[in-house]
Amino acid sequence: MSEAKYLSRRDFLRAAGMVSTGSLLQATGVLARGAGEPGKQEGAKSSSVPLRPFGKTGTSVSCLSLGGMFDIPSNQLLLKLALKWGVTYWDTADCYEGGKSELGIGQFLSKYPETRKQLFLVSKSDDRDPAGMTKLLTRSLERMKTDTVDLYFVHGINNISELNRETKAWAEKSKSAGKIKFFGFSSHSNMEDCMLGAAKLGWIDGIMMSYNFRLMHSDKMKSAMDACVKAGIGLTAMKTQGGGSVNQESETELQMAGRFLKLGFTDKQAKLKAVWENPDIASICSQMPNLTILMSNIAAALNQTKLSVEDLELLRQYARETSSSYCAGCAAICQSASGATPPIREVMRCLMYFHAYGEKDRARELFAKLPGTTLQSVLSCDFSTAERSCPQGLPIGKLMREAASLLA
């Protein structure tokens, strides 16, 4: 692509983003002026984020979920507005923001205790053993000023073997005690195998997994989805933007952005709508740390315009063109090819936060928490075998060295 053409494309996308942000800020202003006390009806609501059934639990949840990995104590207005517009599925974890995420929710519920009954509240445990899970759950309940969480996840499993009979017994005991209503897990890697395994267990209520316009076309993901639906498992999609910005230039990206703007929404909103096209997805968990993103996602949820076959094919074409810059989370393949170290998927996740989300400090913080040998193994490991085995054709060695340079 020529330099002149590149500049034209870049300027177009920047202008499109400015137009979108301007209109969203205007909408946010209108919403903020109309914000009252949560739980109180102050005038008629024009609309609310739609609800969807959460598997066979008998519970319905908002199709848009508030991801809690941000400074919630300092963003109480955002919680108020999310609740006002029907974003009632709130997702957090014991580890988010060093515990401040749950403390922020507790701060909100202390001020507005009557709103607890409106919420579908989710938290997670990094621990796997029952004693550790009990300790973390107890702390989460204390932080959030609540007696129960609606759904409790084991956080970020890579293999279904991380859950066993002891896990099942713990979940049943916690349900009986009224500490949790439902139980499940989240997964960023090897999602399909974890989902297929969960469908066979018979006691998993919910799963949150990476799922987006790139992954939805995979035959293995389709099979995993079908198995979970038949098992009655509620499904929450995360990482729905499909990796954010890519390394190479794509003519389809320009075409896609222009087409969707003419239809009245951005390409980011279109990616959400593509996921919602699947009725088996109960909710999309999105990190929405500011009012602009919150209102953009709410607008997408309220917009009744369906994506056409041509729209969906455009997203699929874009996914094909840019597949070599997206880690699909199939860590079992590259990890087995390169040996036990370094943790390729986890390093890729750090790069995702650095590049796609622009959260450089968080990326470095996550990288620092990886095993102490990670940096040395990143610099010394030969990734050629892993690269040959990668279905996406990722330049793994180059990306690992980039991570060492940017994040260490």
CATH of 26-34+49-317, one of 3.90.1300.10, 3.40.50.1000, 3.10.250.10, 3.20.20.100: 3.20.20.100
Cβ neighbours for 264, distance < 8 A, ≥ 6 positions apart: 303, 305
Segment holding 255, helix H or strand E: helix 251-263
Report the distance separating Cα 228 and Cα 234, nearest Å: 8
What share of the chain has pLDDT > 90, as a percent? 58
C-alpha distances in Å from residue 360, one per residue of 52, 71, 216, 355 = 35, 16, 28, 8
Cβ–Cβ under 8 Å, residues 59 and 150? yes
Beta bridge mates, 210 = 238
The owner of tokens 């400015």 is 18
- The per-residue pLDDT for 389 is 85
Residue 242 confidence class, pLDDT cut points 50, 70, 90: confident
- The per-residue pLDDT for 262 is 85
Residue 248 confidence class, pLDDT cut points 50, 70, 90: very low
Report the distance separating Cα 146 and Cα 171, nearest Å: 18
Task: For 194-216, give the DSSP string.
Answer: HHHHHHHHS---EEEEE--TTGG
Cβ–Cβ under 8 Å, residues 106 and 143? yes
Q: pLDDT, tens digit, for every residue of 44-96? A: 344 799 999 999 999 999 999 999 999 999 999 999 999 999 999 999 999 99
Q: Work out the average pLDDT over 34-43.
A: 52
Q: Work out the average pLDDT over 316-341.
A: 76
- The per-residue pLDDT for 278 is 97
Cβ–Cβ under 8 Å, residues 235 and 279? no
The answer to whether residue 197 scores a pLDDT higher than 90 is yes
What share of the chain has pLDDT > 70, as a percent? 85
Average pLDDT, the chain: 86
Report the distance separating Cα 172 and Cα 156, nearest Å: 21
Instruction: State whether residue 176 is helix, strand or coil.
Output: helix
From 125-129, 140-144, 354-358, 394-398, the region with the lowest mean pLDDT? 354-358
- The per-residue pLDDT for 70 is 93
- The per-residue pLDDT for 40 is 54
Exposure class string for 276-285: b at 16+ Cβ within 10 A, else e: beeeebbbbb
Q: Work out the average pLDDT over 297-320.
A: 92
Residue 238 confidence class, pLDDT cut points 50, 70, 90: very high
More confident residue, 36 or 26: 36
Provide the residue ranges of all domains of the chain, joining segments of one domain with +: 26-34+49-317, 327-407
Give yes or no for a cis peptide into 113 (omega within 30° of 0): no
- The per-residue pLDDT for 39 is 56
Residue 28 confidence class, pLDDT cut points 50, 70, 90: very low
The answer to whether residue 401 scores a pLDDT higher than 70 is yes
Residue 362 confidence class, pLDDT cut points 50, 70, 90: confident
- The per-residue pLDDT for 395 is 87
| Cα torsion through 121, 122, 127, 128, rounded to 10 | 120
Residue 249 confidence class, pLDDT cut points 50, 70, 90: low
Give phi and psi for 181, each to the nearest 5. -95, -45
More confident residue, 329 or 17: 329
